[in-house]
C-alpha cells in the first residue's frame, strides 16, 4: 500500500519518521472499559452512590428547568423582552436578580415569539440570582450533566438527568491521542513540538469527545445546549492536553503542572457540544502523575470518610494508589502500561460478547474451562482484563508456566512459534467466533508480569513510606478498566495484589467516572473532591529509594520473596 511498509520487513539505515496507524478505532472495539454497560457494573455504580450518600454527599444541585409563561406585549404593555422574561422567572422562583447571557439574549426575541411567550428556561439558581443558560420550547425541559473519564487509553462518559440522577446515555471510545504515543510522556513531547498543543487538544476534543457527546445527545434525545455542567476525571497530563495548556513543565524537572485545582473553564472555551456557559469542572490534580481521575476515584471510594485503613488501587494505563483514612491520604503512581485495559495483549479485547472474563484450567489435561460473556453458546472472540489474570494464575497453578512466565510444559494446547516462543491456546481456529486462534503467549505474559510488578512494588513502597505493612490494610478498593468480574484470589495468587483476606477486597468499577458523575450531580461532591485533593500527599516513586529494587523483585509470579504471599498457590 502506498506509503505503508511492514516494519518487520524494513531495515532502518538512517534517521526516519515513523507514522503509526491510527489504532484508536481499533482499540475501541478491542479494549475493555468500565462504561456502565453491564448490569454488574450498574450494580457496583449504584452501590457506590449509596455509599456516598451515607458519607454525607447529597445528590442535588442548583440547576433548574422553569416553565415560564408570559403575557404577550401590547401597545399598553411595552416591557422589553429581557424584563418580561425576568418577571416571568421571578413569578416561578424567588430570586432578586436574573442574569441573561449573550447566548440567550441573542435568540430571546425570536424564541419568545416562536412559542407565543411560553418557554422553558434552563439555568442555575445561585442564592438570590438565577443564571439563565438556555431558552427553549416549553416541552424541551431536559437538563443534563455530562460526566467524563478521560483515560490515557480510553474515554468513557455518561449523560445524566440533573433533576434525578438517572443515566440517560453512556458511551466510550479510544482516546484519539493514542497515535501520538501510548503513554503520557510521548504525548507531552509531541505536544511540545510546533503546533503540538493544538494537535493533541484536537485529538481529544474534536476527534474523541465531540463525537461521543453528540452521539449520547442523540441517544438521550437532548440538545447539546441542555448540558449544563460537565465534569472530568483525568490524569494531570490528560487535563493539560485537554485544555491545550503547556504540558512540558509536567515532564521536565522540577515537574510543575499548570494547575492542581482550577475553576473557571466553560464548555464554550473548548467548543464542546454543550451549553457554552456550562462549567467544565475538572477534578483536581495533586501531582504531575496523580491527577483528577484519582481524586475523583478517591471521592467515589469514600475512603476519606472511614476510620479503617484503606488501599485504593486504580488500574489504568498508569497504576495509581491511595492509602489512608479520614486522617491522612497518601498517593503515588506507577507506570503499569495498558495491559489491564487489554492493551499490550495479543488477543486482548473489551469485556463484551465473546470475551473470556474468567477461566479455570484442568491441571492434568490442561484443558481450559472458559467463562465467555454473551448468550449461551457464544464462542470466544478474545480475552478481557479479568480473564488475563485468571489465565495467568491458572497457567502458573498448573505448572504450565514458571515464575518467570515461560512455558514449562508441553501438550496439545501449548504451541511454539519458529523462534520457540510458547503460547497457550484458549480456542483453536474452529472453536473461536472469528476463525482465528485465541491464545496467550510469553510476550503477553511478560507484559502482564511487568504491569502487575509495577503495581505490587508501588503498594509495597507506599506502605513502607508510612512505616506500615500489608497486614495493617483493612480494606482494598480496586478500580479501573479491568472489568467487573475480577477474581481477587487469582490477582493475589500471581502477586499483583497484597496477600490479605479476600473479603477485604472490593471492586468499585470505573471510579473516575463514578466520581465525575457524583460531581456533575452534586455541588457537595465537587467541594469534597477539592478537599480530598487538597489533603492528599503525593509520593514521587521514581526518586524514592528502594523502589526500583522492589519492582525488579516483583517481576516474578508471585514474587521473589515468597514470604510475602503465604496464601499464594505454589508452582508445581
**Interface ranges with a second copy (CB under 8 A):** 73-75, 77-83, 99-103, 105-110, 113, 243-249, 253-266, 269, 285, 287
**Which of 23, 105 has the CB closer to a second copy?**
105
Full DSSP string of 201-237 = HHHHIIIIIHHHHHHHHHHHT--GGGEEEEEEEE-HH
SS3 527: helix
**Which of 201, 550 has the CB closer to a second copy?**
201
CB of 429 closer than 8 Å to CB of 534:
no
Residues contacting 140, CB < 8 A, separation 6+ = 120, 223, 226
**Which of 109, 185 has the CB closer to a second copy?**
109
Q: How far is the CB of 290 from a second copy (least distance, A)?
A: 12
**Which of 193, 221 has the CB closer to a second copy?**
193
Q: How far is the CB of 70 from a second copy (least distance, A)?
A: 12
Residues contacting 192, CB < 8 A, separation 6+ = 246, 247, 248
Q: How far is the CB of 242 from a second copy (least distance, A)?
A: 11
Closest CA to 28 of 183, 187, 175: 175
Burial degree of 549 (CB within 10 A; 0-12, 13-18, 19+):
exposed
CB count in 10 Å sphere of residue 117: 18
CB of 516 closer than 8 Å to CB of 147:
yes
**Which of 267, 381 has the CB closer to a second copy?**
267
CB count in 10 Å sphere of residue 565: 21
**Which of 210, 426 has the CB closer to a second copy?**
210
**Which of 121, 351 has the CB closer to a second copy?**
121
Residue carrying C-alpha cell 493475589: 492
**Which of 279, 394 has the CB closer to a second copy?**
279
The single-letter DSSP state of residue 379 is: P
**Which of 23, 245 has the CB closer to a second copy?**
245
Q: How far is the CB of 86 from a second copy (least distance, A)?
A: 10
Closest CA to 125 of 164, 88, 160, 99: 99
Q: What is the spatial order of strands in the sheet that 167-174 belongs to? A: 167-174, 154-161, 144-150, 227-234, 279-282
SS3 415: strand
Q: How far is the CB of 269 from a second copy (least distance, A)?
A: 4
Q: How far is the CB of 535 from a second copy (least distance, A)?
A: 15
Q: How far is the CB of 93 from a second copy (least distance, A)?
A: 19
Q: How far is the CB of 529 from a second copy (least distance, A)?
A: 17
Closest CA to 90 of 46, 44, 121: 121
Q: How far is the CB of 137 from a second copy (least distance, A)?
A: 17
CA angle 280, 284, 289 (to 5 degrees): 125
Assigned C-alpha cell, 438 = 485465541
**Which of 101, 399 has the CB closer to a second copy?**
101
CB of 160 closer than 8 Å to CB of 46:
no
Amino acid at each position: 500500500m502506498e506509503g505503508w511498509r511492514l516494519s518487520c520487513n524494513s531495515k532502518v539505515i538512517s534517521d526516519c519518521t515513523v507514522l503509526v496507524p491510527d489504532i484508536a478505532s481499533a482499540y475501541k472495539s478491542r479494549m475493555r472499559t468500565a462504561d456502565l454497560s453491564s448490569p454488574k457494573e450498574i450494580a457496583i455504580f449504584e452501590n457506590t452512590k449509596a455509599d456516598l450518600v451515607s458519607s454525607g454527599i447529597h445528590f442535588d444541585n442548583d440547576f433548574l428547568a422553569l416553565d415560564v409563561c408570559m403575557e404577550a406585549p401590547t401597545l399598553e404593555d411595552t416591557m422589553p423582552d429581557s424584563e418580561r422574561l425576568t418577571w416571568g422567572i421571578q413569578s416561578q422562583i424567588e430570586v432578586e436578580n436574573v442574569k441573561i447571557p449573550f447566548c440567550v439574549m441573542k435568540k430571546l426575541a425570536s424564541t419568545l415569539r416562536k412559542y407565543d411567550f411560553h418557554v422553558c428556561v434552563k439555568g442555575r439558581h445561585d442564592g438570590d440570582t438565577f443564571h439563565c443558560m438556555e431558552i427553549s420550547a416549553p416541552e424541551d425541559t431536559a437538563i443534563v450533566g455530562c460526566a467524563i473519564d478521560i483515560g490515557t487509553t480510553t474515554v468513557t462518559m455518561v449523560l445524566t438527568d440533573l433533576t434525578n440522577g438517572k443515566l440517560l446515555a453512556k458511551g466510550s471510545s479510544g482516546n484519539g491521542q493514542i497515535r501520538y504515543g501510548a503513554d503520557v510522556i510521548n504525548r507531552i513531547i509531541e505536544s511540545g513540538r510546533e503546533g503540538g498543543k493544538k494537535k493533541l487538544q484536537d485529538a481529544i476534543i474534536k476527534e474523541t469527545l465531540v463525537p461521543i457527546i453528540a452521539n449520547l445527545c442523540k441517544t438521550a434525545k437532548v440538545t447539546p445546549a441542555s448540558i449544563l455542567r460537565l465534569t472530568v476525571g483525568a490524569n494531570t497530563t490528560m487535563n493539560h492536553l485537554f485544555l491545550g495548556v503547556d504540558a512540558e513543565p509536567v515532564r521536565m524537572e522540577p515537574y510543575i503542572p499548570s494547575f492542581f485545582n482550577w475553576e473557571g473553564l466553560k464548555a464554550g472555551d473548548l467548543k464542546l457540544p454543550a451549553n457554552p456557559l456550562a462549567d467544565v469542572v475538572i477534578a483536581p490534580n495533586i501531582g504531575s502523575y496523580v491527577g483528577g481521575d484519582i481524586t475523583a476515584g478517591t471521592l467515589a471510594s469514600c475512603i476519606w470518610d472511614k476510620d479503617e485503613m484503606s488501599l485504593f488501587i486504580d488500574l489504568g494505563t498508569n497504576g495509581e494508589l491511595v492509602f489512608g483514612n479520614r486522617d491522612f491520604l497518601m498517593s503515588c503512581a506507577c507506570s503499569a502500561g495498558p495491559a489491564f485495559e487489554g492493551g499490550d495483549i495479543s488477543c486482548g479485547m473489551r469485556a463484551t460478547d465473546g470475551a473470556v472474563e474468567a477461566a479455570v484450567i484442568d491441571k492434568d489435561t490442561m484443558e481450559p474451562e472458559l467463562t465467555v460473556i454473551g448468550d449461551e453458546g457464544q464462542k470466544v472472540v478474545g480475552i478481557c482484563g479479568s480473564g488475563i489474570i485468571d489465565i495467568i494464575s491458572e497457567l502458573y497453578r498448573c505448572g504450565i508456566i514458571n515464575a518467570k512466565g515461560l512455558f514449562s510444559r508441553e501438550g496439545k494446547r501449548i504451541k511454539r512459534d519458529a523462534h520457540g516462543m510458547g503460547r497457550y491456546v484458549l480456542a483453536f481456529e474452529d472453536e473461536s467466533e472469528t476463525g482465528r486462534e485465541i491464545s496467550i503467549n510469553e510476550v503477553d505474559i511478560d507484559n502482564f508480569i511487568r504491569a502487575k510488578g509495577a503495581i505490587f512494588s508501588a503498594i509495597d513502597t507506599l506502605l513502607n513510606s508510612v512505616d506500615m505493612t500489608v497486614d495493617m490494610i483493612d480494606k482494598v478498593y480496586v478500580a479501573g478498566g479491568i472489568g467487573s468480574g475480577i477474581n481477587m484470589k487469582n490477582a493475589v495468587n500471581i502477586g499483583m495484589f497484597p496477600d490479605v483476606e479476600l473479603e477485604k477486597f472490593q471492586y468499585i468499577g470505573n471510579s473516575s467516572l463514578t466520581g465525575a458523575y457524583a460531581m456533575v450531580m452534586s455541588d457537595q461532591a465537587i467541594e469534597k473532591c477539592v478537599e480530598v485533593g487538597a489533603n492528599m500527599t503525593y509520593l514521587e516513586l521514581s526518586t524514592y529509594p528502594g523502589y526500583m529494587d522492589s519492582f525488579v523483585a516483583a517481576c516474578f509470579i508471585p514474587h521473589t520473596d515468597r514470604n510475602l504471599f503465604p496464601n499464594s498457590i505454589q508452582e508445581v
